[in-house]
Amino acid sequence: MKHEHNNISPLDNRYADKITDTRACFSEHELVKQRFNIELEWLIYLCDNYPNFFKKLSQSSRNKIYKFKDQFADKDVLKIKKIEATTNHDVKAIEYFIKDFFKKDKVLSRYIHLIHFGLTSEDVNSLAYSIMIKNGLSIHINKLSDLLKILKTCSVKWKNIAFLSRTHGQAASPSTLGKELKVYSKRIEREINLLKSIKPLAKFSGATGNYHTFVIANDKIDWPKVNKKFVNSFGIEKNLFTTQIEPHDWVAELTQTITRLNNICTDFSQDMWIYIANDIFALCIINNEIGSSTMPHKVNPIDFENAEGNFGIANSLNDFFTNKLTKSRLQRDLSDSTVLRNIGLTFGYSQIALSSLIKGLNKVIPNRDKISEELNNNWEVLTEAVQTIMRYEGIDDAYEQLKSLSRGKKLNKESYIKFIKNLDISSDAKNKLIKLTPSKYIGLANKL
């Protein structure tokens, strides 16, 4: 694919090949195409389902319309854009484009009056964006599922690798690498399920959402029911109560959920960066890659850094979408229109970040030697176990004794065992504690 290098967004040049499907899903071409499809499908829907009120289409005419619809291409977008330059109205330009096609056919020309019948442009826009977001969300969930699959695989693979935890940056009760990854996989899995539960909504009820044009034309038709069935045919739910615009609350729910997912992934990216910095994970060396233009030895955690940056951009956009799109003056103002055109950016930046995170995760391996060394250098983490056993055996000042022994001090195996042997506790408890090592003190981490 050829990309223009003077585009302002890296999504359209540097990162273009990584989000081909998402770029296509939210492109101007796709927006115009969805509007075009909706206009034609609405005309066919009326004529097919209500022939007593709208002239029935012959099979030949239907075939001509569907051929026109199926052959929609870039050249048609350019024609519509040329019309828009005159009309200064994007949806009206599509109506005129269809009208020009119908004029060329003796039979179809009798149906020109039904193009855009009863609709306001926001009916078409609302449904078009809902379809695009629905399709984009499907792509995004697939990408998230790829990450989830890798996290689950690594979690199982590394479930028995004990390592030193850090709370407040200080040595703390050991865990396993697998269990810590499990925490992230479960957090992500929960948010994916929430994403899947969000139902895209659209309005299809005229200028201010009251079906004025439909009812004035024919009050014998149950228009809310008719229009609902049409919207549902696209896999979209109809919002019955709207002004001129669908209120976008569902879009806010969507962007807020994506923000939470991005925050979880940022948390994970930062943890991985710190683990790599502390040699808990080693980065696989790729011969032709360069870590620094001046320091030949460097192997950098660039994928996790790239992920963090792009998740941050996406979340900044999400915050604005959430705060802006749910507000519109009175029955509507146009500020939501220009904002909604950018909705694809949050999917684009989030997916660039996810790709980087997946790439980074595939390039790390546990540094078992360093992990073992760090555990062996921190026997003081066992003081939690010791004071718990002492409490269990009825020693009131257990915590204070261990605090005096270990706070701000380093213990080794010898000093630890010496302390245990001098404790006034049962033989069974002593034996249990003497056999304990930092690498064995993992609770149920490997089972979790």
Domains of the chain: 15-117 (1.10.275.10), 136-205+241-367 (1.20.200.10), 378-435 (1.10.40.30)
Residue 408 has pLDDT above 80, yes or no: no
What pLDDT score was predicted for residue 46? 97
The span from the CA of 222 to the CA of 237, in Å, is 17
Give the pLDDT band of residue 400 (cuts 50, 70, 90).
Answer: confident
316-327 confidence digits (pLDDT tens): 999 999 999 999
Percent of the chain with pLDDT over 90: 81
Among 280-284, 290-294, 374-378, the range with the most confident prediction by mean pLDDT is: 374-378
Pick 395 or 85 by higher pLDDT: 85
Could you tell me which residue, 388 or 312, shows the higher pLDDT? 312
For the record, the structure tokens of 428 come out as 């069974």
3-state secondary structure of 424: coil
Q: Which residue type, as a one-letter code, is found at position 409?
A: K
230 band by pLDDT with thresholds 50, 70 and 90 = very high
pLDDT value at position 7?
Answer: 84
Q: Which residues are catalytic?
A: 168, 292
Task: Give the confidence band of 295 by pLDDT, cuts at 50, 70, 90.
Answer: very low
Whole-angstrom distance, CA of residue 141 vs CA of residue 196: 8
Would you state the structure tokens that stand for residue 102, as one six-digit string?
């119908």
Is 217's pLDDT higher than 90?
yes
Mean pLDDT of the chain: 92
For the segment 99-116, the average pLDDT, to the nearest whole number, is 97
pLDDT over 80 at 299, yes or no: no
Residue 297 has a pLDDT of: 40
Band of the pLDDT at 293, cuts 50, 70, 90? very low
Q: What pLDDT is attached to residue 296?
A: 36
CA distance 199 to 396: 57
Does the pLDDT of residue 396 top 90, yes or no? no
Range name among 165-179, 370-384, 390-404 with the lowest pLDDT average: 390-404
Looking at the whole model, is its pTM more than 0.75?
A: yes
**Mutual orientation of helices 398-406 and 383-392 as an angle, nearest 10°?**
160
pLDDT of residue 298: 40
CA distance 438 to 163: 8
The pLDDT of 331-340, averaged and rounded, is 92
